[in-house]
Structure 1
Amino acid sequence: MPVLLLKALINWHVMKDDKDNVQLSAVEDHDGILTIRGGGARRDWNGIHYKQGMSAKNVGTTKLSANIATIPPGGVAAAHIHVGFELILYIIEGNVRHEFGPGLKQVVENQAGDFIYIKPGVPHEVFNVSDTEPVVAFVARSSANEWDDIVPYNRNADGASLRQVQSLNR
């Protein structure tokens, strides 16, 4: 899908921090094919703005969820771990840096056009490297519950704490 069309689908108005702002009335059920036109309402979590997308909460998915995420200029999604689910990102626009691994000592940068796969249990913190442009990404998770299985990560945590969280992914 061309970037201009994706931009047209993304609502840039900021709402209050409310990760559970799910608008069920936005879902159209066509007897087996469900649609949310324009990506639904906007919700915020951990410094990232999300279009509502689809999940167990609004369309009854059982194994996946997806939405569009926007990290504002200079924004940061605080360090966290996905417990028991995989995540794939496609960067639509902008440049993003992930600090990841034990102590968040490893770094990888990605730009528009890149796919990113994050394994379950990998601690990471996400940075928009631009002070003027947002990062916009398509996000797909192997969990229908979006944020229910995400835990904060302390970059100064000892190895035993990290191994305990990672053991939940097995």
Structure 2
Amino acid sequence: MTCNKAMSEKLRETAEDGGGILCVRSPETDRGWNGIRYKTGISAKNVGSRRLSMNVAIVPPGAVAYAHSHIDFEVMLYILEGQVRHEYGIGLEKVIDNKAGDFIFIKPGVPHEVINLSDTDPVVAVVARSDASEWENIVDYPSKRRPAQQE
């Protein structure tokens, strides 16, 4: 069994199917990607969604989610806790800082890097994507902190 297949089976077990409405209750933080921890949310892997995914992201104090872009899908975030900086655009030359209570919309293909501005407090955000596969359509982008990985 491959790691991805095992993860998909584990995720399917998190969803309660009420016959048309599915529920993931009190998810634990159990997955990591690019410096961010994620609570198990909802996606194609556990509820069978076709166009959407959503979860809660936790960016640890002082952490960076290295530069990347989303291929052909939109992302919306709502910051629950903390302060975060997005360096974005070609060359990551633009900067926007956000805090708890802010909504953020990231258009498809916009390169961005996420930086937790606090050395003591995490950033906690609800993340919704117009892609049910979550991470399969994300590509690295060069930044001053880490060059894009070459495969």
TM-score, with length taken from structure 1: 0.78
1:41 Cα shift? 5.3
Number of the residue aligned with 1:108: 96
Question: How many residues in Structure 1 have an aligned counterpart in Structure 2?
Answer: 138
Number of the residue aligned with 1:129: 117
Note if contact 1:39-1:67 (Cα within 8 Å) is conserved in structure 2.
no
Task: Give the structure with the larger helix fraction.
Answer: 1
Question: 2-side partners of 1:147 and 1:74: how far apart?
Answer: 23
Indicate whether 1:63 and 2:51 are aligned.
yes
Which sections of structure 2, spanning at least 5 residues, go unmatched? 145-151
Partner of 1:23, secondary structure, is helix
Query: Runs of at least 4 residues of structure 1 off by over 3 A?
Result: none
Question: 2-side partners of 1:136 and 1:125: how far apart?
Answer: 16
Number of the residue aligned with 1:33: 21
Question: 2-side partners of 1:93 and 1:82: how far apart?
Answer: 24
Q: 1:51 to 1:40 in 2, by over 3 A?
A: same
Instruction: Report percent identity of matched pairs.
Output: 58
Q: Alpha-carbon deviations, 1:88-136, whole Å to 9, x = none?
A: 0000000000000000010000000000000000000000000000000
Which sections of structure 1, spanning at least 5 residues, go unmatched? 1-17, 157-170
Note if contact 2:66-2:143 (Cα within 8 Å) is conserved in structure 1.
no
- The RMSD of aligned alpha carbons is 1.5
